[in-house]
Amino acid sequence: MTKKKTTFKKNKKLSAGKIKSEVLRFFRKNPKKKLNAKSLARKLKIGNKDSVNHAMVVLHQEGALSSFKNGLYGMARRGPMKPGRNVKTFTGKVDLTRTGAAFIITDESAQDIYVPAKFVAGAIDGDRVDVMVFDFKKGRRPEGKIVKILQRAKEHFVGTIHIFKKYAVVVPDGDQVPFDIHVDINKLNDLKNNEKVVVQIKKWNSDSSKDPEGVITESLGKSGSQDIDMKSILINNGFQLSFDEATMHETEAIPEEITQSEIDKRRDYRKVLTLTIDPDDAKDFDDALSLLVLENGNLEIGVHIADVSHYVKPGSMLDKEAAERSTSVYLVDRVLPMLPEKLSNGVCSLRPNEDKLCFSAIFEFNKDKKIVDRWFGKTVIHSDKRFTYNEAFETLQKSRGKFVKELKQLNEIAKNLRDKRMKQGSIAFETDEIKFKLDEQGNPIELYVKERTDSHLLVEDFMLLANKEVAKFIDKKAQGVEIPFVYRVHDMPDPEKLHDLALMALEMGIKTDFSTPKKTTASINKLLKTTRENEDMKFLEPLAIRSMAKAAYAPDNIGHYGLGFSHYSHFTSPIRRYSDVLAHRILEKNLTQTFRTDKGLLDASCKHISSQERKAIKAERESNKYMQVKYITDHIGEKFDAIVTGMIDKGIFVEIIENKVEGLIPFSRFGEKFKLVDSSFKAVAKKSATEIRLGDRLRVKVIEADLITRRIEMEPIDEDSDE
């Protein structure tokens, strides 16, 4: 019989979050066991049984564990599921919670299906599964059990290797992977115990109680460094750090020189003034703007986009890997590109003073700033100058500098486009984007809100124009017979979420009217304007955003509600978005003929791209949170002014006004029990009736910052004593 493995050395100091994760992991793997804190601490080799007991109490409060007599705890038990008359099986995707329970998201049911932790059957976040629901009835939240795992969301995991005498295991990072991964102890090479590694699962055991088997594909070194943690974020969200050897071989064979024969096939814009405007640290310049005064006095503005589809051919290894990745991922201190660097930062990048191949959208504006003509096609350009956003804005502000006249002309047209868009029903989302100033070692030394200036808006408005007009061109070309295309769609807001938003806004003295789409847009814009003008109302902005549907890619056009566009696509960023590569290919074929691709295949591609986009957003948020925690670690014990931004049963979330760092204040820190009321907009103390509301300001002290769990805990300070 194999000796039970242990993960931690006795008395090793662990954070509260890590202990909680290990307790939950143990009970997931041993769902029939009942243990007290002392016994479990001994099994986990954690010296402090009080910390283990605290973790068990919290997990019990969250519903993950059940409590029994004599201080025993075990996995939360629910009544046995007895088949009723209406047994149904659904197929969907797993959305795993921190407690080990899951929701199955499926198009076959109006409501997500809840699966208790004991019935998750070893599935992990993102897996495609069959779930059986007993006694299914409309109007009641369905509850079921996973009966089959159809497709795993990923096969690569980052974790810590633990080497024993006769075997070795990798313990995956985080608390959402309920298994260890066995690896062959004879194939570890020079790996050392407790190193961070990447493991690829080669065998998933059909019995969910048995751990899968895998092979080590990469050693990341000793855990604890920022570089390793950032790589872990990428890998754990399903992104590969390096490109396939065959992909790199194809990339190296791509010529950097543009042949005359290729130039002869295109409109030549090399003598037309062309500019790029990008962030300070950008290297992948995928869009440029040209400006030309025509003989009739009209203004021709070109939106020139890197011609990635010229280099990335369908069916090539380069294309297959770009399709799989679907997006570049932008973490705080690095970029994981969709395309190899030779293309993303070199051949395709519209660098100044170099001839470049583009796919362009050319617009002719009359003296009233109205579009009187448009053209789409392949071009060759030569960028005259690379502006940073700051340089372009400074030039506009000071009304002097190189190409100031041209920038002003572009800005006037852009403002007119923006005004027209807002009048036609666009929503003015301008959420705060937190940026980090890093030192030479990549450590965060300052947090600030990115400023959106006229130069940012100028570029944005011309990109929106090109994306909209490309989609309209395809629709017009179809002449009533659909041409499958990659649309960027955005549905109407969720009525229930709008109801909650209306109640919260009313609490703050803001009346809304969500009775029609037009009135909804007007109310949301009014709300957002208020949040920009009043810092205490800022918390309403994320609530408004959460009421919106998620934008996605689809071949069925339903329009883009948020922008107020009946037709919209993504055409302007093919270096970093595979959706745009597909749009380029379909558009090119429809310039000279009518071409219809297989809609079913296109739909599958759109769903994959949308899924990859969500993973990238998640990775980017984790990177931001990691850097926030790392930054605030140097400010433990310091006091700040903060605002209440959210509430859960356990406590309140607050955001420090000075640096936008968000943390949790458990209700236990207030010294009494609280109950959430009014759809979690307010918490009321049970004894004193003290109220805490979203938007309230309070003084806080930073108590703990845990890089492993990326959690920040704070406590309230009495404003009078400030102690």
Whether the per-residue pLDDT at 12 is higher than 50: the answer is no
More confident residue, 368 or 154: 368
Q: Which has the higher per-residue pLDDT, 77 or 244?
A: 244
611-663 per-position pLDDT tens digit: 999 999 999 999 999 999 999 999 999 999 999 988 888 899 999 999 999 99
Residue 262 has a pLDDT of 96
pLDDT at position 282 = 86
Name the percent of the chain lying above pLDDT 90: 55
Q: Give the mean pLDDT of 548-560.
A: 93
d(CA 647, CA 650): 8
pLDDT of residue 287: 96
Residue 519 structure tokens: 């009135």
pLDDT confidence of residue 61: 65
Q: What pLDDT was estimated at residue 142? A: 82
Question: For the purposes of burial, counting CB atoms within 10 Å of the CB of 330, is it exposed (0-12), middle (13-18) or buried (19 or more)?
Answer: middle
pLDDT attached to residue 538: 80
Is the distance from CB of 444 to CB of 437 less than 8 angstroms?
A: yes
Lowest mean pLDDT among 27-41, 367-381, 454-468, 470-484: 27-41
Q: Alpha helix (H) ranges present in 326-387?
A: 341
- pLDDT tens digits, residue range 652-677? 999 999 999 999 999 999 988 999 88
Burial 518-529 (b: 16+ CB within 10 A, else e): eebbbbbbebbe
* pLDDT, average across residues 36-61: 82
- Predicted local confidence at residue 299, as pLDDT: 97
- Among 156-160, 372-376, 614-618, where is mean pLDDT lowest? 156-160
CA distance 489 to 486: 9
Taking 60 as the threshold, does the pLDDT of residue 36 lie above it?
yes
Residues 258-306 have pLDDT tens digits of 999 999 999 999 999 999 999 988 888 999 999 999 999 999 999 999 9
Residue scoring higher pLDDT (5 or 154):
154
321 has a pLDDT exceeding 90: yes
For 202-242, the pLDDT digits (tens) are 998 776 667 889 999 888 887 778 998 999 899 888 899 99
More confident residue, 568 or 44: 568
Q: pLDDT, tens digit, for every residue of 49-103?
A: 878 888 887 777 666 788 887 788 888 765 445 545 567 889 998 988 766 788 8
pLDDT at 167 over 60: yes
- Give the Cα separation of 585 and 606 in Å (integer): 14
Of the listed ranges 183-192, 471-480, 602-611, 660-669, the least confidently predicted one is: 183-192
Evaluate whether 608 touches 616 at the Cβ level (below 8 Å). Answer: no
Domains present along the chain, CATH in parentheses: 16-75 (1.10.10.10), 88-151 (2.40.50.140), 156-223 (2.40.50.700), 471-629 (no CATH), 635-717 (2.40.50.140)
At which residue do the structure tokens 């007991």 appear? 53
pLDDT above 70 covers a percentage of the chain that reads 93
CA distances from 325 to 202, 336, 577, 612, 624 (A): 21, 10, 9, 7, 21
pLDDT value for 11: 42
Burial of residue 533 (number of CB atoms within 10 Å: 0-12, 13-18, 19+)? exposed
Query: CA 530, 532, 536, 538 torsion: positive or negative?
Result: positive
Question: What gap in Å lies between CA 52 and CA 37, rounded to an integer?
Answer: 6
Per the prediction, the chain carries an average pLDDT of 88
Mean pLDDT lowest for which of 505-509, 556-560, 684-688? 505-509
**In terms of pTM, does the model score above 0.95?**
no
Span 192-208, average pLDDT: 84
Quickly state the pLDDT bin for 1 (edges 50, 70, 90): very low
Pairing of strands 267-268, 371-382: parallel
pLDDT above 80 for 431 = no
Q: Which three-class secondary structure state does DSSP give residue 436?
A: strand
Q: What is the pLDDT of residue 510?
A: 87
pLDDT beyond 50 at 508: yes
What is the rounded CA–CA span in Å between residue 112 and residue 659?
Answer: 36
Closest CA to 324 of 159, 202, 154: 154
